[in-house]
Amino acid sequence: MEKKFIVPATTMLAGIIVWVMLLLVNSPGGNAPWMELLLGITAGGFIYFSAVRCKKAGGPRGGNIFRTILLLAFAVLSYLFIGTASAVVLLIAGIVTSLLIFNGSQQAAV
């Protein structure tokens, strides 16, 4: 892995870890509704930040497609297992991340 892709990779992994924490901490009608919203914003923010940094580093468009699909899958799973608030936040993050797909650089496979 090139040095310039370390920050996008670690922030995406951080977003995945925060989403797993969201699954473990919250259940429908769980402890604190604000915790669901806070962890949803954090997970979506980390993955979106990863997409922006990958685009700045000149990464391929496929990475942002993967991040968009991941965020949309997280939104569906959050809706099914956690609640509506985190699902809406992750859906919005997925839609905004999908806008980066059209602005990303397409690199040829070597």
Among candidate residues 102, 94, 106, the one with its CA nearest the CA of residue 44: 94
Closest CA to 11 of 105, 93, 99, 107: 93
pLDDT greater than 50 at residue 14: yes
- Has residue 80 been placed in a domain? yes
- Residue 44 CB coordination number (10 Å): 26
Instruction: Please check whether residue 12 lies inside any domain of the structure.
Output: yes
**Residue 28: its pLDDT value, please?**
58
Residue 13 maps to a domain? yes
Residue in the block written with tokens 């940094």: 53
- Say how many domains are in the chain: 1
Please indicate, yes or no, if residue 110 is contained in any of the structural domains: no
Domain annotation covers residue 106 = no
Determine the structural domain holding residue 59 and report its residue range: 3-101
Q: Which pLDDT score is estimated for 108?
A: 43
Residue 110 predicted with pLDDT over 50 = no
The structure's pTM equals 0.82
Q: What are phi and psi of 105, to 5 degrees?
A: -95, 140
Q: Render pLDDT for 56-102 as a digit per residue (tens, 0 to 9).
A: 888 777 888 899 999 999 999 989 888 788 899 999 999 988 888 77
